[in-house]
Amino acid sequence: MWKALQNAFRIPELRDRILFTIATLIVFRLGIYIPIPGINIQAWGEAFKRFGETAAGGILSFYDVFTGGALENFSIFAMSVTPYINASIVLQLLSSVIPKLRDMLREGEEGRKKFAQYTRNLTVLLGAFQSFIVSFSLVRQNPDIVSYGINPFAFVMISTVSMLAGTMFLLWLGDRITEKGIGNGISILIFAGIVARYPNYFARILLGRLNIFGWIFLVAIALVTVAGVIYVQQAERRITIQYATRVTGRRVYGGASTYIPVKVNQGGVIPIIFASAILMIPAAIAQMANWDFLRRLLGPGSAMYIILYGVLVFFFTYFYSVVVFDPHDVSENVRKYGGFIPGIRPGKPTEEYIQKIVNRVTFMGAVFLVVIALLPHLVEGVTKVDIVIGGTSTLIAVGVALDVLQQMEAHLIMRHYEGFIKKGRIKGR
């Protein structure tokens, strides 16, 4: 692996891309520590600690992991790229029910550019709304976080504009990484934010004073989680497609064999994010309304919370699979180009066969995501160490790391260098 990294820096184009990515990440990390104008940092730090002990604070803690600590510092990057992620998910879901959006995605490069512009427009709206809600709610509950002499309403406006500007700057930075760096820019920024929180995890574990058995359990869980995430992220079920041979004049067309890849984890981390967001809403309402019974019932870590969390993750995995993978469209495309699945008749039987395969594969992916989502609760129960989203963060970090390694390996192999593994290669996703 070290030899492969040395070879990567011998290729001028790849070296420049790696160095550019590192430089942009330094800019991103520096922005984490630029506070919103008018914030009382000391008062906000105390308020953030108090929030962490409540059910409503679970939302902030979960969100702060994706921002790389920007929310804890109440910086201009406090919203990070989450408004863009939310806008992308919303439009992707709407494209399954709105024919105009679905047709736009099928128009090729021009359609995708128009769809991307819609996504950015929606990002501005969602970013402004989320920034305002966060600023207004925090100032309303903790007026002392506003510096002396500054009008609270003026601070909310300044905070909203600052966080929205930070989000749009990060989108621009992500585009530059995609264009001139290595990997997908938005994913790299999320990856950097998550990895930056790992030292806090380690410090929390060290302060937990684990015994030898606790350390063994924790290390074993970490190794199994990383290995399992890598295996499932790369896993796919391949449906063989055979194309019929036809003769036109002296030319023979067709006769080729290919396959349709059905990934085990099609939804990635999206089902977990959906489930967490939905469950945090009643918990936050109960906290603000001071409803002790509902707060205890749905508070993070309660039995009802864990059960509902697992059920919602399982449900959203199937829901997202239905949205992104349509067996009817796939079977029609196969038939249109003269293909067929060996042993399966074209038309309705092909659609039913693909649907059966997708259901089975999605079931395995759903079980995997439920385990990943509930893993922190298992670790906390055994080690008594508070871990926010260990399994989820690992899922995102490993997925982005694999994507970067695949791009780097493509550059190396294209220039006849040895990749990151001596035999074979890292499978594309």
Residue with tokens 């790696």: 18
Query: Is residue 186 within a helix (H) or strand (E), and if so which, with residue range?
Result: helix 185-195
Query: Is residue 252 within a helix (H) or strand (E), and if so which, with residue range?
Result: strand 251-253
Cα 33 to Cα 75: distance, rounded to the nearest angstrom: 6
Cα 359 to Cα 356: distance, rounded to the nearest angstrom: 5
What value, to the nearest 5°, has the Cα angle with vertex 67 and ends 323 and 380? Answer: 85
How confident is the model at residue 287, as a pLDDT? 61
3-class SS of residue 75: strand
How confident is the model at residue 384, as a pLDDT? 67
3-class SS of residue 38: coil
How confident is the model at residue 137, as a pLDDT? 80
Cα 208 to Cα 211: distance, rounded to the nearest angstrom: 9
Cα 356 to Cα 97: distance, rounded to the nearest angstrom: 23
How confident is the model at residue 429, as a pLDDT? 44
Amino acid at 79: M
How confident is the model at residue 387, as a pLDDT? 59
Cα 25 to Cα 17: distance, rounded to the nearest angstrom: 12
- Domains annotated for the chain, with CATH where assigned, are 1-206 (1.10.3370.10), 209-384 (1.10.3370.10)
Residue by residue, pLDDT tens for the chain (429 residues) are 566 667 777 778 888 888 999 999 999 999 998 999 988 888 888 888 776 555 455 566 667 777 777 888 889 998 888 888 888 888 877 887 788 887 887 777 788 888 888 999 999 999 999 889 888 888 887 888 888 888 888 999 999 999 999 999 999 999 999 899 888 888 888 888 888 877 777 776 776 667 777 778 778 888 888 888 888 888 888 888 887 765 566 665 556 778 888 888 887 777 887 787 777 777 666 666 667 777 777 766 678 888 888 898 898 888 888 777 888 888 888 888 778 888 888 888 888 999 999 999 999 999 998 988 888 777 777 666 665 556 677 788 888 888 888 888 777 777 665 555 555 455 554
How confident is the model at residue 198, as a pLDDT? 77
How confident is the model at residue 44, as a pLDDT? 87
Number of C-beta neighbours around residue 153 at 10 A: 11
Cα 220 to Cα 214: distance, rounded to the nearest angstrom: 10
pTM for the whole thing? 0.78
